[in-house]
């Protein structure tokens, strides 16, 4: 046992915040210092470092280093705690005294205790060793709440945290059942729920405030304003987008007042999470509702080649774990959905090994070499994405090819040792319908060393010479598959009267009494082709280079300035945050007062006194999400592009903007891909078996759209009869033409079909 003693003094001055134990205490003066000058935490840091004989706070976090300017001292404490972990020590007891006559601190002490306990005990020790429980609401009932209670009882015994994922979008018809689920969650000891839908957020904060919230990566938080917005909305933690660089993450962590979590291992989606419409477009199976058909793993064909254009290697960040700890990341996440227990165990052990002792990196990497995933990439965090696309989208280790077949028998030479109960997968040369096989004696299998020949007699399927063989499972130990059902009994349904009372409070049936038509353009060339008197408002979604050309000084522009809505992009990298804040400020000073944001956190970029709206990327699939936006002073909102008629009319709301014509952005990605040379309009063309597509790049973002637009003009009158009065014609990705505008405007006016055109999910339905 070691004992450390710390002591710290800071001067009280005006115009500084008073921060003690991570709590912002209202007072006329604050503490002067290079960081946030939290003397309580600084004292604890010195005590820990003193006990370890590791110097003092000034040695590790010098006040001449700008990286620590105004930094939250809890980040410094978290980093100090990790130094202690590496030395294999833990805190047994912590006692601190604050000497001050003013202000009175008694009411703030409980929060100080909680802050200190969270930083010094719960972060890495429990987050990575947590029991990850995935519950896909309405979509696949992986376990019951009775089983969940058993897991919670087990977690209490093993001192781990349990998180429940509700990171899916909710339809209007599902709101009553959602309330029952939240009611059940509120009775448990779950550490947190992970959410995607702002409607879920609204219901939790309004009616179940005891539930702790984490923001899913599906919410697409990707910069410091996003992290700040989440903090202001009382999230405990944000799971950041996978597409960030290490430098971006370092800056965000430095600026953030909220816990940050990142994905460090597992499968990667080509599109930003929460922005993919490809699976939904192919048949209503929405990736945003956990139903992804993995179109990025398909082969596509261009004029020059056929390949896996969008299939990414698996994420692996084991090399930078020490750096992630250093910059203050609170939690490392392993993507383990639909993975085996042996995979989760192996990967968690590897990352825990490096967290505890960075010198064991090579040993950990050896463990990960048998995770049975795809090839690995360090992706954007590693600073090089040039080789992130894989030629083999399938999981497993390639161990050989079938060299001989005879009837139902086949054999192959294996590059890895094979034992009973290992699992292999045979991949036919045509790439279709692979088959997984568990190696058993009944198939005539005998254990074989690396370099030996394995033979099987598998009567259920026939294979051919040259078919590839992959090792996909090598169990080394058995895992429990059942828990004793001994958890606390829950009330399963929210009382009917209370449920109805909540549902009555969300959504409004009020309707506007006049029609409004919105036009969106993504090129300034459209301004010369439009008749602005034929519609109500013009949404401008431009690239940075076009914003620099945007000139409001002409009489035509001044006359129509009230019609312009400035739209911000879906992804704003950290380096561009200041650019877009300045852009909005400059345009507002020139008279533009209407702005449309693609992420709700972008409200923090807008100047005071403007009118903010949200586009289809801020999902309004249910009345609760719309209620949240209204109470957050959002003026207008576009319904999601993947909406269906049944859900649209099931809600009370009738004031959103219904998209009638658009090219849905199926992929929206930071990852560059090479297909063919672009045409004169900047598009590359490719296809699969059933559809043709186009790819373009705007401000570094790769966008994939179908060759044929979605057109719902023929349903406009029916939608109008249901009480909807606001409509959108999106001319993004349409070649500027006065004839095209006139034709589409006529289709809108007379509710006529535009051919060719897809119906998307309008009639098919959204799953």
pLDDT of residue 474: 87
Q: How far is residue 203's CA from residue 182's CA, in Å, rounded to a whole number? A: 9
390 within 8 A of 374, measured Cβ to Cβ: yes
pLDDT of residue 461: 82
Average pLDDT across the chain, whole number: 90
pLDDT of residue 135: 28
pLDDT digits (tens, 9 = 90+) for 356-406: 899 999 999 999 999 999 999 999 999 999 999 998 888 899 999 999 999
Beta strand spans in 380-485 (E): 397-406, 409-413, 423-427, 435-438, 453-457, 468-473
Q: Is 338 found in the same domain as 295? A: no
What DSSP line would sit under 55-73, residue for residue?
A: --HHHHS-TT-GGGTT--H
Q: Name the residue with higher pLDDT: 123 or 555.
A: 555
Q: What average pLDDT score do residues 706-723 get?
A: 98
Q: What average pLDDT score do residues 410-422 get?
A: 94
pLDDT of residue 501: 96
The answer as to whether 504 is a domain residue is: no
Reduced to 3 states, what is the DSSP secondary structure of residue 216? coil
Q: How far is residue 754's CA from residue 758's CA, in Å, rounded to a whole number? A: 9
Q: How far is residue 67's CA from residue 256's CA, in Å, rounded to a whole number? A: 13
Q: CATH no. for residue 347?
A: 3.20.20.70
455 within 8 A of 390, measured Cβ to Cβ: no
Reduced to 3 states, what is the DSSP secondary structure of residue 37? coil
Residue 443 has pLDDT above 90, yes or no: yes
Q: Of 372, 390, 411, at which residue does a domain stop? A: 372
pLDDT digits (tens, 9 = 90+) for 299-333: 999 999 999 999 999 999 999 999 999 999 999 99
**Per DSSP, what are the bridge partners of residue 367?**
none
Percent of the chain with pLDDT over 70: 94
Q: What average pLDDT score do residues 173-186 get?
A: 95
Q: Is 331 found in the same domain as 297? A: no
Query: For the chain, what is the domain count?
Result: 5
Q: Is 332 found in the same domain as 404? A: no
pLDDT of residue 126: 31
Q: CATH no. for residue 544?
A: 3.20.20
Q: Which domain holds residue 161?
A: 143-268+313-372
- The least confident of 214-218, 370-374, 653-657 is 370-374
The answer as to whether 66 is a domain residue is: yes
Q: Name the residue with higher pLDDT: 349 or 488.
A: 349
Q: Of 372, 387, 411, at which residue does a domain stop? A: 372
Residue 114 has pLDDT above 80, yes or no: no
Residue 479 has pLDDT above 70, yes or no: no
b/e per residue 100-137 (b: at least 16 CB within 10 A): eeeeebeebeeebeebbebbbebbbbbbbbbbbbbbbb
The answer as to whether 749 is a domain residue is: no
Q: How far is residue 186's CA from residue 198's CA, in Å, rounded to a whole number? A: 18
Q: Is 91 found in the same domain as 30? A: yes
Q: How far is residue 276's CA from residue 666's CA, in Å, rounded to a whole number? A: 6
The answer as to whether 492 is a domain residue is: no
Q: What average pLDDT score do residues 722-737 get?
A: 98
Q: Is 367 found in the same domain as 228? A: yes
Under the banding of pLDDT at 50, 70 and 90, the label for residue 639 is: very high
Exposure on the CB side of residue 527, measured as CA atoms within 13 A: 18
Q: What is the dihedral of CA 339, 343, 344, 348, to 10 degrees?
A: -150
Tokens read off for 94: 């912590």
pLDDT of residue 141: 45
CA 93 to chain centre: 38
The dihedrals phi and psi of 115, each to the nearest 5 degrees, come to -60, -45
Q: CATH no. for residue 107?
A: 3.30.1330.50
**Residue 458 CA: distances (Å) to CA of 209, 413, 435, 659:** 56, 17, 11, 53
Residue 486 has pLDDT above 70, yes or no: no
Q: CATH no. for residue 435?
A: 2.40.30.10
Q: What is the largest CA-CA distance in the chain?
A: 90
Q: Would the pTM count as exceeding 0.75?
A: yes
The answer as to whether 84 is a domain residue is: yes
For 407, residues 6+ apart whose C-beta sits below 8 A from its C-beta are none
- The DSSP element (H or E) to which 225 belongs, if any, is helix 224-232
pLDDT of residue 575: 97
Q: Is 351 found in the same domain as 228? A: yes
pLDDT of residue 34: 86
pLDDT of residue 110: 72
Q: Is 565 found in the same domain as 425? A: no
Under the banding of pLDDT at 50, 70 and 90, the label for residue 143 is: low
| Cβ count near 648 (within 10 Å) | 20
Is the preceding peptide bond at 104 cis, omega within 30 degrees of 0? no
pLDDT of residue 138: 29
pLDDT of residue 275: 97
With tokens 């005071």, the residue in question is 608
**Residue 340 CA: distances (Å) to CA of 131, 267, 481:** 14, 14, 11
pLDDT of residue 485: 61
pLDDT of residue 749: 97
Of the spans 18-32, 128-142, 461-475, 542-556, which averages the highest pLDDT?
542-556
Residue 132 has pLDDT above 60, yes or no: no
For 485, residues 6+ apart whose C-beta sits below 8 A from its C-beta are 146, 147, 149, 150
The answer as to whether 366 is a domain residue is: yes
Q: How far is residue 672's CA from residue 484's CA, in Å, rounded to a whole number? A: 49
Q: What average pLDDT score do residues 520-528 get?
A: 97
Q: Is 209 found in the same domain as 284? A: no
The answer as to whether 334 is a domain residue is: yes
pLDDT of residue 610: 95
Q: What average pLDDT score do residues 2-12 get?
A: 87
Q: Name the residue with higher pLDDT: 618 or 34.
A: 618
Q: What average pLDDT score do residues 277-293 get?
A: 93
pLDDT of residue 79: 79
- The least confident of 15-19, 445-449, 476-480 is 476-480
- The least confident of 420-434, 561-575, 700-714, 723-737 is 420-434
Residue 90 has pLDDT above 80, yes or no: no
Q: How far is residue 537's CA from residue 20's CA, in Å, rounded to a whole number? A: 50
Q: What average pLDDT score do residues 6-30 get?
A: 88
Q: How far is residue 298's CA from residue 667's CA, in Å, rounded to a whole number? A: 14
The answer as to whether 149 is a domain residue is: yes
Reduced to 3 states, what is the DSSP secondary structure of residue 193? strand
Q: Is 359 found in the same domain as 296? A: no
Q: Is 652 found in the same domain as 524? A: yes
Tokens read off for 106: 């008694």
pLDDT of residue 588: 97
Q: How far is residue 185's CA from residue 200's CA, in Å, rounded to a whole number? A: 13
Which among 480, 493, 483, 479 has a CA at the least distance from the CA of 146? 483
Q: Is 333 found in the same domain as 192? A: yes
Is the preceding peptide bond at 103 cis, omega within 30 degrees of 0? yes
Q: Of 446, 473, 500, at which residue does a domain stop? A: 473
Q: Is 731 found in the same domain as 691? A: no
* Number of DSSP helices (H) and strands (E) in the chain, helices first: 23, 33
Q: How far is residue 402's CA from residue 105's CA, in Å, rounded to a whole number? A: 74
Which among 169, 171, 137 has a CA at the least distance from the CA of 651? 171
Exposure on the CB side of residue 273, measured as CA atoms within 13 A: 26
pLDDT digits (tens, 9 = 90+) for 29-84: 889 998 889 999 999 999 999 988 888 888 888 887 777 788 888 888 877 877 78
């Amino acid at each position: 046992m070691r004992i450390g003693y710390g002591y710290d003094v800071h001067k009280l001055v005006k115009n500084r915040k008073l921060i003690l134990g991570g709590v912002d205490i209202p007072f006329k003066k604050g503490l002067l210092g290079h960081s946030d000058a939290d003397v309580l935490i600084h004292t604890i840091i010195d005590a820990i470092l003193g006990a370890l004989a590791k110097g003092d706070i000034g040695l590790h976090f010098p006040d001449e280093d700008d990286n620590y300017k105004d930094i939250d001292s809890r980040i410094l404490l978290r980093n100090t705690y990790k130094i202690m972990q590496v030395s294999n020590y833990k805190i047994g007891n912590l006692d601190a005294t604050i000497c001050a006559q003013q202000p009175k601190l008694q009411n703030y002490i409980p929060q100080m205790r909680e802050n200190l306990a969270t930083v010094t005990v719960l972060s890495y020790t429990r987050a990575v060793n947590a029991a990850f429980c995935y519950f896909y609401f309405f979509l696949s009932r992986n376990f019951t709440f009775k089983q969940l209670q058993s897991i919670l009882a087990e977690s209490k015994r093993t001192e781990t945290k349990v998180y429940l994922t509700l990171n899916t979008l909710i339809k209007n018809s599902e709101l009553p059942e959602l309330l029952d689920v939240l009611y059940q969650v509120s009775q448990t000891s779950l550490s947190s729920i992970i959410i995607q839908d702002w409607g879920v957020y609204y219901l939790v904060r309004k009616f179940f405030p005891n539930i702790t919230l984490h923001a899913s990566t599906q919410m697409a938080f990707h910069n410091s304003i996003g992290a700040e917005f989440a903090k202001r909305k009382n999230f405990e933690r944000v799971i950041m987008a996978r597409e960030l660089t290490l430098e971006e993450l370092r800056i965000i962590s430095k600026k953030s007042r909220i816990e940050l979590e990142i994905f460090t291992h597992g499968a990667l989606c080509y599109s930003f999470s929460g922005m993919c419409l490809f699976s939904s477009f192919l048949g209503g199976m929405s990736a945003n509702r956990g139903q992804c058909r993995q179109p990025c793993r398909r082969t596509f064909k261009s004029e020059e080649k056929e390949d896996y254009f969008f299939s990414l290697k698996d994420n692996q960040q084991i090399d930078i774990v020490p750096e992630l700890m250093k910059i203050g990341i609170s939690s490392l996440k392993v993507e383990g959905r639909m993975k085996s227990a042996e995979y989760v165990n192996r990967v968690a052990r590897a990352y825990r090994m490096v967290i505890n002792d960075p010198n064991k990196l090579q040993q950990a990497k050896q463990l990960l070499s048998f995770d049975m995933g795809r090839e690995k990439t360090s992706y954007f965090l590693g600073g090089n994405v040039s080789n992130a696309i894989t030629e083999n989208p399938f999981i497993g280790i390639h161990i050989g090819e079938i060299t001989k077949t005879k009837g139902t028998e086949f054999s192959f030479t294996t590059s890895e040792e094979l034992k009973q109960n290992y699992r292999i997968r045979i991949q036919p040369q045509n790439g279709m319908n692979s088959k997984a096989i568990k190696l058993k004696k009944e198939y005539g299998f005998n254990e074989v060393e690396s370099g030996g020949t394995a033979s099987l007699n598998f009567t259920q399927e026939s294979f051919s010479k040259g078919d590839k063989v992959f090792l996909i499972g090598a169990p080394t130990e058995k895992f429990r598959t059942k828990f004793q059902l001994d958890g606390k009994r829950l009330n399963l349904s929210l009382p009917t009267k209370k449920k109805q009372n909540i549902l009555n409070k969300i959504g409004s049936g009020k309707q506007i009494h006049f029609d409004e038509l919105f036009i969106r353009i993504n090129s300034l060339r459209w301004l010369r082709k439009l008749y602005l008197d034929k519609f109500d408002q013009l949404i401008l979604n431009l690239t940075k280079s076009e914003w620099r050309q945007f000139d409001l000084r002409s009489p035509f522009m001044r006359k129509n300035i009230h019609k312009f809505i400035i739209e911000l992009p879906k992804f704003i990298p950290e380096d561009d945050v200041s650019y877009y804040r300045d852009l909005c400020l400059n345009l507002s000073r020139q008279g533009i007062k209407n702005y449309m944001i693609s992420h709700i956190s972008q409200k923090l970029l807008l100047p005071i006194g403007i009118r903010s709206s949200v586009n289809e990327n801020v999902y309004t699939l249910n009345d609760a999400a719309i209620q949240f936006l209204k109470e957050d002073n959002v003026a207008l909102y576009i319904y999601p592009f993947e909406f269906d008629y049944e859900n649209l009319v099931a809600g009370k709301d009738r004031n959103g903007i219904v998209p009638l014509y658009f090219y849905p952005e199926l992929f929206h990605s930071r990852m560059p891909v090479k297909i063919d040379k672009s045409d004169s309009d900047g598009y590359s063309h490719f296809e699969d078996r059933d559809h043709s597509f186009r790819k373009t790049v705007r401000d570094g973002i790769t966008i994939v759209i179908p060759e044929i637009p979605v057109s719902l003009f023929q349903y406009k009158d029916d939608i109008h009869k249901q009480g909807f009065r606001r409509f959108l014609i999106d001319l993004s990705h349409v070649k500027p033409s006065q004839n095209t505008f006139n034709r589409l405007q006529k289709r809108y006016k007379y509710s006529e079909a535009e051919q060719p055109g897809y119906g998307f999910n309008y009639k098919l339905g959204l799953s």
